[in-house]
Amino acid sequence: MKVVESIRELQDQIKHARSLGKKVGFVPTMGSLHEGHMMLIDKAVEDCDFVVSSIFINPLQFNDIDDLGRYPRTFDADSKLLKARNCDLLFFPSIDEMYPHGQDAQTTVSVPVVSEGLCGDSRPGHFDGMATVVMKLFHMVAPDASFFGEKDFQQLAVIRKMVGDLNLPFDVIGVDTCREESGLAMSSRNHHLSAEEKATASNIYRILSEISAAIQDGAKNYLELCEKGNVELAGLGFEPDYLEVRNADTLAPAAESDQNLVVLAAAILGKARLIDNLRIKLA
């Protein structure tokens, strides 16, 4: 695996791969990699001939400077993981390389509707910053396919809408959430959890599963189900942010007639803000 830090080096390597007729797959990350990221790399290796990943902790998508400072930085371990899973090229740019004119002067991308509500309410500016850096990376790499985890369901919806609205000529492929044995969704933010908190954190998945089962059994009062779930989360020591049932295709609040649903949760436990979701497909 080759590591490059400049856009020019990145594009030279991709140009060479394309000259050999290779299909380019892209997995953008912010580092602190875990098995969930590796599943994205594995899928990219399976579907493509030349796999590019990036590690860039994007300050533009953090509305809390302390949260940015706490984000884990584990480049050496990350690069070893990527190499072991047959990633071909790792792009590791500096902030100056990504934002040469400064962040305040940066043109930004805003994706309406799907970025509103949920994490969009609790993290103002987050999705604009995320969409902006992903669009920049898409232009730099010009992949044939890009790969994202479904754990960040709203993020994936924002990226899919952005790619569709701006007519970008490649596929956005979602990969199933990777979970620990307890059901806890793997996340870089799990590093902030103590052993006791990590055991408690698995209750998010349990509560999502119970809501999903109730809906599949015919429950239609989604608000009541979610209110009950929030009360339970609070009783376990979480600070609930949201727990909602949405239309999985549009992210609009779920209607009783919807058949393709997703139940999404975000809650703070200790120093970690955790998110998770479960898809629900009704007959």
Digit-coded pLDDT (tens) for 25-59:
999 999 999 999 999 999 999 999 999 999 999 99
The answer to whether 37 is a known catalytic residue is yes
- 209 within 8 A of 198, measured Cβ to Cβ: no
Is pLDDT at 17 greater than 90 in this prediction? yes
Identified catalytic residue from 34, 37, 126, 191: 37
Residue type, 81: L
Residues 201/203/209/212 CA torsion (nearest 10 deg): -90
> Does 3.30.1300.10 match the CATH number of domain 188-278?
yes
- 261 within 8 A of 282, measured Cβ to Cβ: yes
CA geometry: angle 257, 261, 264, nearest 5 deg: 135
> Do 2-175 and 188-278 fold alike per CATH?
no
260-269 sheet: strands from edge to edge: 239-247, 260-269, 272-281
Residues 207-221, mean pLDDT to the nearest whole number: 97
Q: How confident is the model at residue 66 (pLDDT cuts 50, 70, 90)?
A: confident
Choice between 64 and 87, residue whose per-residue pLDDT is larger: 87
Fold of 2-175: Rossmann fold (3.40.50)
The CA-atom distances, in angstroms, between 208 and each of 58, 118, 153, 229, 278 are 30, 16, 14, 8, 7
pLDDT in tens, 236-283: 999 999 999 999 999 999 999 999 999 999 999 999 999 999 999 997
Tokens of 160: 């899919």
List the chain domain ranges. 2-175, 188-278
